[in-house]
């Protein structure tokens, strides 16, 4: 089964915002990523709009030909944006308002009712939903009770341990992916996946549907160019 590559373009927006104006052009970059072979575009708008802006999300929807994934903390403004834009997928992430980047998955036991109600609103608009979760088999099984279609496994712990002991690093993720399959949830993954650790992750989790990669991919593009970098990542997923 093929695993789709969704390119997170937040870092391109960060660079644009550093100087103001429209260089680099976030919309053109997203279209170029698709042209170079990316099978999806991911954005993660935050309330302070420090990278992707809500206006970017609205402008991207009519331009994209592949899958559009919007991820973020389901505060009221985020949910309103998602319902307005109606992307293919919304990934709910429990970001603290001051978090530099996503750094933990949902405690679904604690937030199950809130997540169930939120997901019902999104699914009423035919939006596929995914929950950002740690590699915890019990938490993955609980995700099915919320009505979510998929989970996105938070892979920073895997990436951090991969260089020391890759078999140990992947073990919890294999169990989490197996738990997802048992309750008929699709499996996505993201955070700190890169050209060094992606192929092994994909090989060990053949049920993997989609990876969302931004920071590492855009950093690699500084050396290899955007088109060549996307091809390199696609190669790791074959």
Task: Express each pLDDT in 86-143 by its tens digit.
Answer: 999 999 999 766 665 666 789 999 999 999 999 999 999 999 999 999 999 999 999 9
Residue 71 is among the residues annotated as catalytic for this protein: yes
d(CA 221, CA 38): 14
Query: Can you state the percent helix, strand and coil of the chain, rounding each to 5?
Result: 45, 15, 35
Residue 152 is among the residues annotated as catalytic for this protein: no
Output phi, psi for 209, to 5 deg: -90, -35
Which pTM value belongs to this model?
Answer: 0.95
Catalytic residue among 44, 51, 67, 210: 44
Range of the domain at 220: 4-236
**Ranges in the chain, pLDDT < 70:** 96-103
Catalytic residue among 67, 71, 152, 210: 71
Instruction: State the total domains in the chain.
Output: 1
CATH value at residue 155: 3.20.20.70
Residue 191 is among the residues annotated as catalytic for this protein: yes
Instruction: DSSP letter for 198, please.
Output: H
CA dihedral over 41, 107, 118, 172, signed as positive or negative: positive
């Amino acid at each position: 089964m093929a695993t789709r590559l969704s390119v997170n373009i937040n870092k391109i927006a960060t660079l644009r915002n550093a100087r103001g104006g429209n260089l680099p052009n976030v919309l053109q970059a997203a279209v170029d990523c698709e042209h170079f072979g990316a099978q999806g575009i991911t954005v993660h708008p935050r309330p302070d709009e420090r990278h992707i802006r809500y206006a970017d999300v609205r402008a991207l929807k009519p331009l994209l030909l592949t899958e559009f994934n919007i991820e973020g903390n389901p505060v009221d403004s985020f949910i309103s944006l998602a319902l307005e834009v109606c992307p293919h997928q919304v990934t709910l992430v429990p970001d603290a308002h001051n978090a530099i980047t996503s750094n933990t998955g949902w405690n679904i036991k604690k937030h199950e009712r809130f997540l169930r109600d939120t997901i019902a609103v999104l699914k009423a608009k035919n939006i596929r939903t995914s929950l950002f979760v740690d590699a915890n088999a019990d938490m993955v099984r609980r995700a099915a009770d919320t009505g979510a279609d998929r989970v996105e496994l938070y892979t920073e712990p895997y990436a951090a341990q991969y260089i020391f002991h890759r078999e140990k690093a992947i073990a919890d993720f294999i169990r989490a992916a197996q738990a997802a399959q048992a309750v008929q949830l699709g499996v996505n993954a993201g955070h700190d996946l890169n050209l060094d650790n992606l192929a092994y992750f994909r090989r060990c989790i053949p049920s993997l549907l989609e990876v969302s990669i931004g920071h590492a991919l855009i950093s690699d593009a500084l050396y290899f160019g955007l088109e060549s970098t996307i091809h390199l990542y696609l190669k790791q997923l074959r």
